Chains A and B, each alone.
Chain A
Amino acid sequence: MKFDPALALHSLSAMLHGLLVTIALAALVVALGLAISIPLAVARNSQRPVLAWPAAAYVIFFRGTPAMILLFLVYFGFGQVFGARDGLLGALFSNAFLCAVIGFTLNHSSYVTEIVRGGLLAVPKGLEEAAAALGIEPRDVFLRIRLPLAIRYGLKAYQNEVILFTKATAVVSVITVVDLTAVANNIFYDTYDPFTPLLTAAAFYWVLVNVIRFGLARFDGWLNVHLVADEQRDRVVMVRADGAVPRPIATAGISEAAE
C-alpha cells in the first residue's frame, strides 16, 4: 500500500476539474432543494389533505429510495422517454449532469423538507400566539417569527444533511457524470494504482466537508448570538427518518448522527 506523490501532483489538475463538477452539482442541488423544501414543508404541515398527502408521498418516496436508484430512474427512465425528442425536455433529460441535478434534488429536498418541518414544529406555539395577539397578520407571523426560529432550530440537522448529501454525490459516475470520484477512478484504471488517486480524492472531499462545516458553524454563530441561555437551544431538531416531531432531547453529541 503506497502513496505516490508524483502521481498525485500530476493528476492534480484533472482532480480539480472533477472537484469543480462535484461542487457545481452540490451547490445547485442545495439551492434548489432549499427552495423547494420550504413550500413542501408548509404543505406537509397543512391541515388540508390536498396539500398534506402529496407532500407526504413525495417525502416518503424520495427519502426512502437510495440516490442511485433515483439517478437511474431519471437518466435511464425519463431519459429514455424524453431524451430522443426535440425541445426542452429532450435537451434536459439527455444531459447527464442535469439528470443528476434532478435526481439528487428530489432526494435531498425530501430530507430538507423534513428538517424544515421539524424546525417549524419546534417553534413554541406560545410565540405564535403572542405574535397573533399583537395583531400581526398570519403571513408576517410566519415570515418574521416562525420561519426565522425554525431555521435556527433546524440548522444543525440541516448542516448534517448538506454534508451527507455532498458525500453522496460521489456515486454520480453511474450516469456518466465525471465528478471527483470518477476522475480518481479513471486515474486508477490507467495506472493500476488504487491508493494514490482514491486517497487524494478522499482528501479533497474531507477538505470540502470541513469547509462546509466551518462555514455553517459560523453562520450558526451569527444567527444565534441571542441564544445565551435559551432553553430551546437544547432541543436539537434531530429529524427522525419518519419526520416525527422530535422529543426534546438535550444533547451535544447526537447531532452528528442526525440523518
Chain B
Amino acid sequence: MPLNDLIGYFEQLLTGAVITVELAFSGYALALTVGVAWALLRRLGNPVVTAVWRVYGSIFMGVPSVLVIFLLYYGGSAILGGLLGLIGLRARIDVTPFQAGLAALTIVQGAYAAEVVSGAMRNVPRGQFEAARALGIRPYQAWWYVIMPQVARLALPGLTNIWISVLKDTALVALAGLNEIVARSRTAAGATKEPFLFFIAAALFFIVISAATLKFSARLERRLDRGVARPAVAGGRA
C-alpha cells in the first residue's frame, strides 16, 4: 500500500475529525442551553411545566439517540413542512445529516443536562438563597453572583460526562450519512484493508479528547472548589 495513499486517507480522517468536533461543540453548547433553560423553568414549580418535562425527559432519555437522529433526518423535512404549514407557509426544507444530528443531540443531551443542572441547583444549600435575600441583594444579582457559581461547581462532573457523551454520540450521525471521522475510518479501512490502523487511529482521537477534557475538568474543579470546606478525613491520628 503506497505511503501516499495511506497519508491521503489520514488526511480524510482529519477532515472527518473536524466535522466531528464542529458537531460536538455546537451540540454541546445547544444542549447546555436547553438544559439550563429547563432547569430554570422547572424551578418555577408550574404544574404544566412539570408535566411537560416528565414526558419530554421520559421519552428522550428512554429512547436510543440513533432513533431520534433517524426520525429527524428521514422525517425532518416532513416535520418542518408540517410546522410551517401550521402557520400558513408552504415550503420544502431539506434537512442535512449534520442538522439532524445537531437537533437530535440538542434534544436528547439537553434532557440529561437539565437533570444535572436541576440536581445541582437543588443541592445549593437553602441558606445561600436566604442569606442573599437577607442582605438585600436583588434576585438576578443573587443568581448571577451567588447561586450560579455554586451550581456550576456542583454540576461540573455531570456536565463533563455529558460533553464526553455528546462527543461519542456524533459517531451515530454517521448512520444518517454524515461523513465524520468514524465513517471515514470505515471507508479508509475498507479501501486499504488496514482496519486496525484506521479504527485504532479513530479510537485514539476520541480517547485523547476525552483525556484532555478530564484533565481540564479536574483543573477547573480544583479552581471552583477554592474555599469549600472539606469534611475532616475519618480516622485522623490522635
Which residues of A are at the interface with B, using a C-beta cutoff of 8 A?
1, 60-61, 63-70, 72-73, 76-77, 80, 124-126, 129, 163, 167-171, 174, 181, 184-185, 188, 194-195, 198-199, 201-202, 205-206, 209-210, 238, 240-242, 244, 246, 248-259
Residue B123 interfacial (CB < 8 Å): yes
Please name all residues of chain A whose beta carbon is closer than 8 Å to the beta carbon of B207 when the two chains form the complex.
Answer: 60-61, 64-65
Q: Cβ of A68 and Cβ of B174 under 8 Å apart?
A: yes
The 8 Å CB contact of B63, one of A63, A125, A202, A249, is A202
- Can you list the 6 inter-chain pairs with the closest CB atoms, starting with the nearest? A253-B119, A254-B119, A64-B207, A259-B161, A170-B64, A194-B74
Q: Cβ of A240 and Cβ of B112 under 8 Å apart?
A: no
Provided the pairs A64-B206, A202-B67 are in contact, do residues A126 and B157 lie with their beta carbons within 8 angstroms?
no
Residue B152 interfacial (CB < 8 Å): no
Interface size band for B: 35 or more
**Nearest chain B residue, comparing its CB with the CB of A207:** B62
Q: Cβ of A257 and Cβ of B115 under 8 Å apart?
A: yes
**Nearest chain B residue, comparing its CB with the CB of A174:** B175
Q: How many angstroms between the C-alpha atoms of A172 and B206 in the bound complex? A: 20
Write 6 A-B pairs (CB below 8 A) sorted by A numbering. A63-B210, A167-B64, A198-B74, A205-B63, A246-B157, A249-B154
A226 to chain B, nearest CB (A): 21
Q: Cβ of A252 and Cβ of B199 under 8 Å apart?
A: no
Q: Cβ of B196 and Cβ of A77 under 8 Å apart?
A: yes
Q: Cβ of B64 and Cβ of A205 under 8 Å apart?
A: yes
Interface segment out of the listed B8-16, B132-140, B181-189: B181-189
Provided the pairs A60-B211, A244-B218 are in contact, do residues A252 and B122 lie with their beta carbons within 8 angstroms?
yes
Please name all residues of chain B whose beta carbon is closer than 8 Å to the beta carbon of A69 when the two chains form the complex.
Answer: 171, 182, 185, 199, 202-203, 206
Q: How many angstroms between the C-alpha atoms of A253 and B70 in the bound complex? A: 29
Residue B17 interfacial (CB < 8 Å): no
Residue B227 interfacial (CB < 8 Å): no
Q: Cβ of A126 and Cβ of B234 under 8 Å apart?
A: yes
The 8 Å CB contact of A251, one of B70, B123, B203, B234, is B123
Q: How many angstroms between the C-alpha atoms of A202 and B58 in the bound complex? A: 12
Residue B214 interfacial (CB < 8 Å): yes
Provided the pairs A206-B59, A251-B123, A257-B158 are in contact, do residues A194 and B210 lie with their beta carbons within 8 angstroms?
no
Q: Cβ of B161 and Cβ of A240 under 8 Å apart?
A: yes
Q: Cβ of A66 and Cβ of B168 under 8 Å apart?
A: yes
Q: How many angstroms between the C-alpha atoms of A248 and B154 in the bound complex? A: 11
Q: How many angstroms between the C-alpha atoms of A250 and B70 in the bound complex? A: 38
Q: Cβ of B119 and Cβ of A124 under 8 Å apart?
A: no
Please name all residues of chain A whose beta carbon is closer than 8 Å to the beta carbon of B123 when the two chains form the complex.
Answer: 249-251, 254
B64 to chain A, nearest CB (A): 4
